[in-house]
Amino acid sequence: EDQVTQSPEALRLQEGESSSLNCSYTVSGLRGLFWYRQDPGKGPEFLFTLYSAGEEKEKERLKATLTKKESFLHITAPKPEDSATYLCAVPRFSSGTYKYIFGTGTRLKVLA
Protein backbone atom coordinates (compact mmCIF):
# COMPACT_ATOMS: atom_id res chain seq x y z
CA GLU A 1 0.00 0.00 0.00
CA ASP A 2 1.24 3.49 -0.85
CA GLN A 3 2.37 5.33 2.25
CA VAL A 4 4.03 8.58 3.21
CA THR A 5 5.64 8.85 6.66
CA GLN A 6 7.17 11.95 8.19
CA SER A 7 9.56 12.15 11.12
CA PRO A 8 9.94 13.45 13.67
CA GLU A 9 6.34 14.23 14.56
CA ALA A 10 7.44 17.32 16.47
CA LEU A 11 10.76 19.17 16.73
CA ARG A 12 11.91 21.99 18.96
CA LEU A 13 15.04 23.91 17.93
CA GLN A 14 16.89 26.84 19.32
CA GLU A 15 17.25 29.75 16.94
CA GLY A 16 20.25 29.05 14.71
CA GLU A 17 20.24 25.29 15.40
CA SER A 18 20.13 23.55 12.02
CA SER A 19 18.26 20.27 11.52
CA SER A 20 16.51 18.06 8.98
CA LEU A 21 12.97 16.77 8.56
CA ASN A 22 12.36 13.41 6.90
CA CYS A 23 9.65 12.24 4.49
CA SER A 24 9.74 8.54 3.57
CA TYR A 25 7.51 7.12 0.87
CA THR A 26 6.54 3.75 -0.53
CA VAL A 27 4.93 4.71 -3.82
CA SER A 28 5.72 2.85 -7.00
CA GLY A 29 6.60 5.03 -9.96
CA LEU A 30 7.06 8.32 -8.12
CA ARG A 31 5.68 11.24 -10.10
CA GLY A 32 6.88 14.02 -7.88
CA LEU A 33 7.16 14.92 -4.23
CA PHE A 34 5.89 18.21 -2.82
CA TRP A 35 6.76 20.10 0.36
CA TYR A 36 4.39 22.51 2.05
CA ARG A 37 4.49 24.77 5.08
CA GLN A 38 1.30 25.27 7.10
CA ASP A 39 0.69 27.88 9.78
CA PRO A 40 -2.07 27.22 12.34
CA GLY A 41 -5.56 27.79 10.94
CA LYS A 42 -4.30 28.56 7.43
CA GLY A 43 -3.96 26.67 4.17
CA PRO A 44 -0.70 24.93 3.25
CA GLU A 45 1.81 27.11 1.44
CA PHE A 46 3.67 25.47 -1.43
CA LEU A 47 7.45 25.29 -0.98
CA PHE A 48 9.09 22.83 -3.38
CA THR A 49 8.54 20.19 -6.03
CA LEU A 50 11.10 17.42 -6.55
CA TYR A 51 10.80 14.98 -9.44
CA SER A 52 13.92 12.82 -9.55
CA ALA A 53 16.46 11.27 -7.19
CA GLY A 54 19.40 13.59 -6.64
CA GLU A 55 17.37 16.72 -7.24
CA GLU A 56 17.75 19.62 -4.79
CA LYS A 57 15.81 22.86 -4.36
CA GLU A 58 16.59 25.82 -2.09
CA LYS A 59 14.66 28.76 -0.76
CA GLU A 60 16.11 31.05 1.89
CA ARG A 61 16.96 28.81 4.90
CA LEU A 62 15.26 25.72 3.43
CA LYS A 63 16.76 23.07 1.19
CA ALA A 64 14.86 20.03 -0.07
CA THR A 65 16.53 16.88 -1.37
CA LEU A 66 15.20 13.64 -2.85
CA THR A 67 16.44 10.06 -2.94
CA LYS A 68 14.69 6.96 -4.27
CA LYS A 69 13.04 6.28 -0.92
CA GLU A 70 12.89 9.56 0.98
CA SER A 71 13.13 13.30 0.95
CA PHE A 72 14.74 15.64 3.45
CA LEU A 73 13.91 19.23 4.27
CA HIS A 74 17.05 20.82 5.71
CA ILE A 75 16.60 23.96 7.77
CA THR A 76 19.76 26.01 8.19
CA ALA A 77 20.04 28.51 11.04
CA PRO A 78 16.28 28.62 11.64
CA LYS A 79 14.46 31.66 12.99
CA PRO A 80 11.30 31.76 15.13
CA GLU A 81 9.28 32.67 12.03
CA ASP A 82 10.12 29.26 10.57
CA SER A 83 7.88 27.69 13.23
CA ALA A 84 5.09 25.85 11.40
CA THR A 85 3.95 22.38 10.38
CA TYR A 86 5.81 21.02 7.38
CA LEU A 87 3.95 18.57 5.16
CA CYS A 88 5.14 16.42 2.30
CA ALA A 89 2.86 14.89 -0.34
CA VAL A 90 3.15 12.50 -3.28
CA PRO A 91 0.68 11.82 -6.10
CA ARG A 92 -1.02 8.45 -6.38
CA PHE A 93 -3.24 7.18 -9.18
CA SER A 94 -6.53 5.84 -7.82
CA SER A 95 -10.07 5.50 -9.16
CA GLY A 96 -9.20 7.02 -12.51
CA THR A 97 -7.40 10.12 -11.31
CA TYR A 98 -4.31 11.28 -9.46
CA LYS A 99 -4.65 12.25 -5.80
CA TYR A 100 -2.14 13.61 -3.30
CA ILE A 101 -1.13 11.41 -0.36
CA PHE A 102 -0.03 13.63 2.52
CA GLY A 103 2.30 12.68 5.32
CA THR A 104 1.21 13.43 8.87
CA GLY A 105 3.54 16.40 9.10
CA THR A 106 6.35 17.64 11.35
CA ARG A 107 5.43 20.41 13.81
CA LEU A 108 8.48 22.64 14.10
CA LYS A 109 8.95 25.11 16.93
CA VAL A 110 11.96 27.45 16.82
CA LEU A 111 12.73 29.15 20.11
CA ALA A 112 14.31 32.59 20.28
Partner 1 sequence: DTEVTQTPKHLVMGMTNKKSLKCEQHMGHRAMYWYKQKAKKPPELMFVYSYEKLSINESVPSRFSPECPNSSLLNLHLHALQPEDSALYLCASSQEGAWTEAFFGQGTRLTVV
What does the per-residue mask of binding to partner 1 show for 68-87, with x meaning CB under 8 A?
A: -------------------x
Q: Does 57 bind partner 1 (CB under 8 A)?
A: no
CA–CA dist 112, 109 (Å, integer): 10
User: Is residue 99 within 8 Å of 92, Cβ to Cβ?
Assistant: yes
For the segment 1-30, give every residue that binds partner 1 (CB under 8 A).
none
* Residue selected from 103, 106, 108, 110 as contacting partner 1 according to rule CB under 8 A: 103
The DSSP line for 27-85 is -SS---EEEEEE-TTS--EEEEEE-STT-EEEETTEEEEE-SSEEEEEE-S--GGG-EE
| CB 33, min distance to partner 1, A | 10
Residues that bind partner 1 (CB under 8 A): 31-32, 34, 36, 41-46, 49, 87, 89, 91-92, 95-100, 102-105, 107
